[in-house]
A and B are shown apart, each in its own frame.
Chain A
Amino acid sequence: NAGVTQTPKFQVLKTGQSMTLQCAQDMNHEYMSWYRQDPGMGLRLIHYSVGAGITDQGEVPNGYNVSRSTTEDFPLRLLSAAPSQTSVYFCASSYNGGRSYEQYFGPGTRLTVT
């Protein structure tokens, strides 16, 4: 099992550019989520999905889109990158709706927007 994988590991964007952060898991987990980590603010939930075809917003969804066409993949799209989106992004998955089971995290993507 590869667990949760994320690509790329590092990315530099210019303001206004768009890109997609990839996330995949091979554990057949129903629940997947995206967090961003900023110094002193812990991990903040961006979007999550309780299963294929179902997504919902977290604490800080503005500027990001997600879709969940398969159980395995949960890409995060930045529509028009802004310097405020400079952060480390973590994807996670868990067995059920994220409520009672621990989440398994990917290694993270460090994004810099200039």
Chain B
Amino acid sequence: AQKVTQAQTEISVVEKEDVTLDCVYETRDTTYYLFWYKQPPSGELVFLIRRNSFDEQNEISGRYSWNFQKSTSSFNFTITASQVVDSAVYFCALSESDMRFGAGTRLTVKP
């Protein structure tokens, strides 16, 4: 069965610090998809990135970067030079036949 583990329940950093959110997954499929979503205090869920199991290239989008390593079943998310607006709950998700989410990591960025 598919499973996503986000071991960090809460993280607090000071603005401009770099922060990495960990995501470890379990799956028996060879073809699967990984996602990150952001849930700001307003409550909506915002899609950030999708990665398929055959593409292990790291991705960078502005201050955001993602490190996908099949060898360790991890899909970690790094925010560089964090800002107060990055404060949110971040969810990692794994999709096989349906999408399952991790428990989320609450990131607080203090000014």
Contact = CB atoms under 8 A, between A and B. Distances in A.
A33 B97 CA distance: 12
Chain B interface bracket (under 10, 10 to 19, 20 to 34, 35 or more): 20 to 34
16 contacts: A42-B91, A42-B104, A43-B45, A43-B91, A90-B45, A92-B45, A99-B33, A99-B95, A99-B97, A99-B98, A101-B50, A102-B47, A103-B99, A105-B45, A107-B43, A107-B44
A98 B95 contact: yes
B52 interface: yes
Interface string A77-114: 00000000000101010000111111111011000000
A98 B101 contact: no
A98 B103 contact: no
A33 B99 contact: yes
Given A90-B45, A98-B95, A45 B9 contact: no
Interface of B: 4, 6, 9, 33, 35, 43-45, 47, 50, 52, 91, 95-104
Contacts, number: 54
A98 B100 CA distance: 10
Name the residue in A40, A48, A99 with the highest tally of chain B Cβ atoms < 10 Å from its Cβ: A99
B95 A100 contact: yes
Nearest to A107: B44
Interface residues of A, number: 26
Which are the 5 A-B pairs with shortest beta-carbon distances? A105-B45, A42-B103, A43-B101, A102-B47, A42-B101
